[in-house]
Amino acid sequence: MGTITLDKVTKSFGAVQVIPPLDLTIGDGEFVVFVGPSGCGKSTLLRLIAGLEDVTSGEIRIDGRNATETPPAKRGLAMVFQSYALYPHMSVRKNIAFPLRMAGMDKAEQDRRIEAAAKVLNLSDYLDRRPGQLSGGQRQRVAIGRAIVREPAAFLFDEPLSNLDAALRVNMRLEISELHNTLETTMIYVTHDQVEAMTMADKIVVLRAGNIEQVGSPLELYRNPRNVFVAGFIGSPKMNLIDGAEAAKHDAKTIGVRPEHMSISTTDGQWRGVVGVSEHLGSDTFLHVHDTGLADTLTVRCDGEIGVHHGDAVYLTPQPDKIHRFDEAGLRL
């Protein structure tokens, strides 16, 4: 079991309230991602759940039981950090066994758990090595192994991939998703990277300044962002946000159009502009179009083979049913 409920939880450091009253329920077996800009309170929230920080007020329940005052080791949760914090002089086996040895667990049961975790993580052949003899990805897997053997009610990950290079990050992303499919244990995963959030989560919690801006599945957030912040934060490249007279035509303060929801033509269309920078990704090209008469540059996603060049005049036309409308307060209309 691994249901976690936060009930009006707040956190202040001195006079500064970092988490205003916050309610959240994480269901058993869910993969939940906390995402938001640096400093928005993601780690603090995770550490409150882990018990590494005390709440200022409110209640945390784990599987229905009040765990607000429960010490971290007794919460049945396992945390995986960005820095793997492995012991360099110990073998992989000893590193993974560490929490079990500390708990004084029977040796046979320790071995059973270590072998099982090593198998899931493809570390069976590396149990006798030292961390220094492993790649970055393998080290991260050892750190995860140390969490798995505890058989926690939930795994808590705080930006576990930010120290890895881009290719390895994509790989580990898949491995962690696969691990979740295998273990079916609740996972809470913190990242500032919305692509990680979109690709891994069952449920995304978007945070800004300690506030939950929106909770939903990746596609819910993509299709129906509740406000301008979520609209701009989820999706890559970012949604084009347009104010002024053009938005007023749609009876809105701001309208939003995603780069993939505009067509491009060299002869006619709604907004005429001039091609600036092109980003060629092979499969797609992102064109940045300026001098449209709208406030900002527009980004449009085109076919990878599109034959337009810097300085060309182009026309962009948004798909009418894909225009997002927002009011004065930035809320979705």
Ligand X SMILES: Nc1ncnc2c1ncn2[C@@H]1O[C@H](COP(=O)(O)OP(=O)(O)O)[C@@H](O)[C@H]1O
40 vs 228, beta carbon nearer ligand X: 40
Q: Judged by CB under 6 A, which of 43, 194, 227, 240 binds ligand X?
A: 43
Any contact of residue 285 with Mg ion (CB under 5 A)?
no
Least distance in Å: CB of 187 to Mg ion? 17
Q: What is the DSSP string of 263-312?
A: EEESS--SEEEEEEEEEE-SSEEEEEEE-SSSSS-EEEEEETT----TT-
Which of these segments, 42-50, 103-111, 167-175, 302-310, binds ligand X (CB under 6 A)?
42-50
Minimum CB distance to Mg ion, residue 43 (Å): 3
Interface pattern 19-58 for Mg ion (x via CB under 5 A): ------------------------x---------------
User: How many residues comprise the chain?
Assistant: 333
Nearer to Mg ion, 6 or 35 (CB): 35
Q: Which is nearer to ligand X, 40 or 55 (CB)?
A: 40
Q: Which does 181 bind (CB under 5 to 8 A by kind): Mg ion, ligand X, none?
A: none
User: With left for phi above 0 and alpha for psi between -120 and 50, is residue 263 left, alpha or beta?
Assistant: beta
Tokens of 216: 């939903």
- 252 near ligand X (CB under 6 A): no
How many positions of this chain bind ligand X (CB under 6 A)? 10
> Please, are residues 303 and 285 in contact by the beta-carbon 8 Å criterion?
yes
Q: Is residue 39 involved in binding ligand X (CB under 6 A)? A: yes
What's the token pair of residue 215? Answer: 């909770």
d(CA 142, CA 145): 5
Q: Whose CA is closest to 86, among 165, 141, 158, 161?
A: 141
Stretch that binds ligand X, among 39-47, 118-126, 215-223, 318-326 (CB under 6 A): 39-47
Segment 44-63, which members bind ligand X (CB under 6 A)?
Answer: 44
Question: Collapsing DSSP states into helix, strand and coil, what is residue 133?
Answer: helix
What's the closest the beta carbon of residue 271 comes to Mg ion, in angstroms? 39
The bridge status of strand 254-257 relative to strand 240-243 is: antiparallel
Torsion, Cα of 287, 292, 295, 299 (10° steps): -10
CB of 13 to ligand X, least distance (A): 3
| Rounded least distance, CB 157 to Mg ion, Å | 11
| Residue 118 binding ligand X, by CB under 6 A | no
Kindly tell me which residue out of 4, 6, 18, 114 binds ligand X, with binding defined by CB under 6 A.
Answer: 18
Element housing 93 (H / E): helix 92-102
- Asked whether position 205 contacts ligand X by CB under 6 A, the answer is no
Residue 231, exposed/middle/buried by CB under 10 A (0-12, 13-18, 19+)? Answer: buried
How many angstroms separate the CA atoms of 75 and 303, rounded? Answer: 51
Query: Roughly how many angstroms between the first and final C-alpha of the chain, as a whole number?
Result: 39
Residue whose CB is less far from ligand X, 163 or 297: 163
Instruction: In whole angstroms, give the CA distance from residue 300 to residue 316.
Output: 8
Which is nearer to Mg ion, 43 or 68 (by Cβ)? 43
> What residue ranges bind Mg ion (CB under 5 A)?
43
> What residue ranges bind ligand X (CB under 6 A)?
13, 18, 36, 38-44
